[in-house]
Amino acid sequence: MAFGQIGIAVPGFWFAILLILLFSVRLGWFSAGGFPGWEAGAGLALKALLLPAVALALPEAAILARITRTAALDTLREEYVRTAVAKGLPRRAVLRRHVLPNALIPVATILGLQFSFLVAGAVVVENVFTLPGLGRLLYQAIGQHDLIVVQSVVVLLAVTVVAVNALVDIACAAIDPRPRVTA
């Protein structure tokens, strides 16, 4: 719970700066920014992407962990779970057959919503780590008043977010354990 609260409270860009201060400036394990390119080798490229990935993912993972915990605890209190336990089903079977499918619905919904936050956070985190990407391109285009590039990137990101939300809706319908009514 403490990890979740800290992850929710700390913004991604601030967490990125803290990661640079700790792992680049103080410990010297990573470079403070930049991307060497894939031609420099996959190891160096992935090492350069590790801190930005952590900076983007950790706040979202904290939110997802809290939602998952709450959904699982709420599902454990349902009557059908108590009935399955009373019938003598093993705990693992109850969790796998009854709790997990029902708890996944709100988790999948939040996961789809978090995608748009990841896209928005990438704009800032790419600039903190001076990484080449759509976020940095968008930031530079705004600074240079390049309206065509800004519009193109925003439309591309909006279409991607809508497509991901549509896929999440389909996934939620597929994992929903309630019986389906056929017409």
pLDDT average, residue stretch 26-33: 80
Q: Is 78 helix (H, G, I), strand (E, B) or coil?
A: coil
Amino acid 141: pLDDT = 92
pLDDT average, residue stretch 53-76: 85
pLDDT average, residue stretch 13-24: 82
- Angle, alpha carbons 34-32-64 (nearest 5°): 90
On whether the pTM is more than 0.85, the answer is no
Query: What is the percentage of the chain residues whose pLDDT exceeds 90?
Result: 7
Amino acid 178: pLDDT = 66
- The mean of the pLDDT values for the chain is 82
pLDDT higher at 177 or 48: 48
Amino acid 25: pLDDT = 83
pLDDT tens figures, 35-61:
777 777 788 888 888 888 888 888 888
pLDDT tens figures, 111-169:
888 888 888 888 888 888 888 888 888 888 999 999 999 999 989 988 988 998 899 88
Amino acid 144: pLDDT = 92
Amino acid 180: pLDDT = 63
pLDDT tens figures, 87-107:
888 888 888 888 888 888 888
Looking at the predicted structure, is the pLDDT value of residue 22 above 80? Answer: yes
pLDDT average, residue stretch 17-34: 81
For the record, the structure tokens of 35 come out as 């991307």
Write b or e for each residue in 143-174: b if 16 or more Cβ atoms lie within 10 A of its Cβ, otherwise e: eeeeeeebeebeeebeeebeebeeebeebbee
